[in-house]
Structure 1
Amino acid sequence: MSWDNYKKAITLMEEYEDECDFVGEHSEDVVKKAEQALGLRFSNTYRDFVKRYGAGNFGGEEIYGVIGEDFENSSVPDAIWVTLTERKEWNLPQNVVVIADTGMGEWYCLDFNQCNAEGEPPVITYDSGLETDERTYDRIANDFGDFLLSLVKEEVDC
């Protein structure tokens, strides 16, 4: 289950807090502004992550989220800025939110058109540099909780 795996990831992150480098907590108001800028509501796990950590790194892995309220004059790891920029420059679909860079020319994204019964979208890889008809959407995790737990475990070699 997504929430269970998300909580396991948070527990590991707290255990290895010296591996954490995040911008820090955000208010409900800031999270709502981010959602409004993207035109969607975050899933429970991603919303909790953004409120709790904002955005940043765990070990060598960067997780995009919310840095602040200026979504137009920002940079990585601001998920809102990256997503809005990709929408404008590469026609990123409105249902997709960029949450990390694969390091291979693709993005890890939440696909809000495929939410499960708990309202959690899967994590997909997405290559916005391809022509629209050549783009693929490969599912790499059932939801953000699974994605985060996998990422954290890989970093701590559990």
Structure 2
Amino acid sequence: MSYQNFEKAMSLAPKCKFYTTVGGKSQEEILRSEEMLGIKFSKQCLEFYEKFGYLSFFGTEIFGIDPEDDSGILEGNSVAYTLNDREEYNLPFNWIPVYNYEDGNMAYLDFSNKNAEGEPRIIMCMYTGKEYEIMEVIAEDFGDFLLSLVEQQLDA
């Protein structure tokens, strides 16, 4: 039911206050991001990047991809954030940051642990100063994660 949850989340998201996307990313941008990260995006991630590119609503920011951004700003760009944290903090290769909880925890797509549909689980992790520690598994996949964030906002 995960893809259904992805579709439901993205159909409900425009009802959230301050809903914003940047529009879709081109195939070239997506392929370049995959090359830079050494990761093949899953179906849900591909659709998210192709159709929406990035998502923000009322204090919630789901990172997009921008392989050409060399501004040094990491927030909002999974490519820049991943490459920086791999180099600076030895971020596990198969983890891609998608959400900052602003309390020291981050949500990551965990491409080392995929479900039967090939979708990475979402984990909450914290960098301890020496290594990354998984605090909890947040969702089975991206769709479940997005739906929970959207529903929390709509219920608030």
The TM-score normalised by the length of structure 2 is 0.91
* Offset of residue 18 of structure 1: 5.6
1:70 aligned partner: 68
Structure 1 residues 56-105: Cα deviation after superposition (integer angstroms, max 9, x where no partner): 41222000011x33144352101110111111111001000000101210
Aligned residue number for residue 52 of structure 1? 51
- Hey, what does 1:153 align to over in structure 2? 151
User: Partner of 2:8 in structure 1?
Assistant: 8
The alpha carbon displacement at 1:13 in A equals 1.7
Tell me if structure 2 keeps the 8 A contact 1:86–1:128: no
Consecutive unaligned residues of structure 2, counting only runs of 5 or more, are none
More helix by share: 1
User: Does residue 93 of structure 2 align to residue 118 of structure 1?
Assistant: no
Match for 2:148: what amino acid? S
- Does the Cα contact within 8 Å between 2:30 and 2:49 map onto a contact in 1? yes
Partners of 2:127 and 2:64 in 1: how far apart? 19
Distance 1:112 1:72 in 2: 25
Task: Name segments (4+ residues, structure 1) moved above 6 Å.
Answer: none
Distance in 2 between residues matched to 1:4 and 1:114, nearest whole Å:
20
Percent of residue pairs bearing the same amino acid type: 34
Q: CA RMSD of the aligned region, Å?
A: 1.8
> What's the offset of the Cα at 1:19?
3.0
Q: Which runs of 5+ in 1 are unaligned?
A: none
Partner Cα distance (2:52, 2:18) in 1: 13
Larger fraction in strand: 2
Change (3 A) 1:52 1:146: same
